[in-house]
Structure 1
């Protein structure tokens, strides 16, 4: 169904939000919108909301499966504004957000649904999940000038690292169980990336509650939501395999002519399987086997 705005969606179909988990996709351009939505539907999300301009098209098989909301994701604070409005009307529901040409992978996702994973995560008294944004890119930019190719997608198999996250309210001492993660194209081409956008960590999976707010840096106003694990053991983490940075670097006039290829000696074909991401240490199964 198509809605003229998020307010229109709340008026006509708010009951859709009564059962989760719920996914929100923000379409910044027309690259791989349909495949991004199909991937989430196949993962077991109970509802998928797609925020996109009217001029973008959806495939015929996808249209009846999603809730299309007219929206401009490129406006300032557009994502956090929409996510926070959904949070306000979905207490206790698990939510997920991403952009188009991004694909959520979690441990054993080939055989287990997103609902099964989040049920286990909830039993561990965790109400958020750290997701690493793993950059994908086409192997040949001459054939794929927008850097997007599902068939020839590559990723970096090394070059990821974490730094302590300083707490300005506590003399910049490190925050407990919080780290800033870096790597991928944002690290290799950092001269083209603003410093505040170089991190690759998001809290993209979380359980809504009253008063919870997503900030523009992909963190929350509840500091426990920003932690990567509980105090007593490691927890599940997930990965968002994303063409978004590659697209931006090739679209930006300041960087596109400096990049003939994203491939380097640590590039490897993406296998579209959670086992590869687990083997590379790009997500953590925790106690879930």
Structure 2
């Protein structure tokens, strides 16, 4: 199904988005569009919606399983505004958002659906889920000059850390159960990354709530929704495994010549399995077993 805009979708067949969870995929370029969409269809989302420029191509088999919305502006504040626009149309539904060449993994996702996980998360009275953006990169940048390779993806096994998140009005007072997380390529190549974009945490899954918006730093306007756990125990967290930073560093003229390879002594092959991320502490199962 294809619509000329999100307003077109709402006016013609709003029933398509009445049932969640919904995956909102924002396509920035033509890299790994089909694999991104197939991955999220396979996770069990009720609908996968691709916001993408009209000129971009999509495989026929993928087009059968997703809703395509023509959208020329899919980055920055335009992307944030669209997520909030969708949320206002589906109060109470779970939403997930990411970009192309990004892949959501959550604990036990090989055998359980996104709906099953969010049902448990809701039972714990949680209305949002923290995720960590884990950088992926090709092992050979001569063969893959845009740093993207599904078959030979690497990731960093160490180098992740957290710092307290302080209240803007009181810099001496850290926010309760909130941290800023860092690591991956944004840490190793921080000289090429603006400071405001160096953290790797996102509230990438949340329940649409009246009066609550996603902010430009991928946090929510309701501070409780930005916490990594409830007050009494740890909760589930997820990982968004992403080629986006590597792709940007290698396609940006200001950084590409400084990076002959992303490989270092802490690079390991990415196994495309939640067990690897659990073992490395890059996601948390909480009380869900």
Q: Displacement of 1:7 after TM fit? A: 0.9
The residue number in structure 1 matching 2:111 is 111
Equivalent pair of 1:110/1:274 in contact (CA under 8 Å): yes
Q: Is the 8 A contact 1:87 1:212 kept in 2?
A: no
Deviation of the 1:13 alpha carbon: 2.1
Contact map agreement 2:51 2:74 (CA 8 A) in 1: no
Q: Contact 1:72/1:78 (CA < 8 Å) preserved in 2?
A: no
Matched, 1:275 2:275: yes
SS class of match (2:178): strand
TM alignment of 1:40-189, pairs within 5 A: 40-74=40-74, 76-189=76-189
State which drifts further: 250-259 or 171-180: 171-180
CA RMSD of aligned residues (A): 0.9
Which residue is 1:207 aligned to?
A: 207
Q: 8 Å contact 2:44–2:114 — kept in the other structure?
A: yes
Q: TM-score scaled to structure 1, two decimals? A: 0.98
Q: Once the two structures are superposed, what CA deviation does each residue of 1:73-124 show, in whole Å capped at 9, x if it has no partner?
A: 3554111110000110111101000000000000000000000000000000
Aligned partners of 1:92 and 1:135: how far apart in 2?
31
The CA distance in 2 between the partners of 1:192 and 1:27, in whole Å, is: 23
Structure-1 separation of matches of 2:75 and 2:35: 24
| Alignment pair present for 1:228 and 2:228 | yes
Q: 1:76 to 1:266 in 2, by over 3 A?
A: closer
Secondary structure of 1:277's match? helix
- The question of whether the paired residues in 2 share the 8 Å contact of 1:134 and 1:242 is answered with yes
Residue 6 of structure 1 deviates from its aligned partner by 1.3
Q: In the alignment, what sits opposite 2:249?
A: 249
Secondary structure of the corresponding residue to residue 254 of structure 1: coil
How many pairs does the alignment contain? 289
Q: How far off is 1:197 after superposition?
A: 0.1
Partner of 2:237: 237
CA distance in 1, matches of 2:74, 2:61: 26
Distance across 2 between alignment mates of 1:248 and 1:137: 11
Cα deviation, 1:176-225, whole Å, max 9, x if unaligned, reads 00000000000000000000000000000111111110111101110011
Distance 1:15 1:54, change over 3 A: same
**Post-superposition offset of 1:171:** 4.2
CA distance in 1, matches of 2:147, 2:76: 25
What is the TM-score of this pair, normalised by structure 2? 0.98
Retained in 1: the 8 A contact 2:52–2:74? no
Deviation by residue 1:138-163 (Cα, 9 ceiling, x = unmatched): 00000000000000000000000000
Deviant stretches of 4+, over 2 Å: 72-76, 169-172
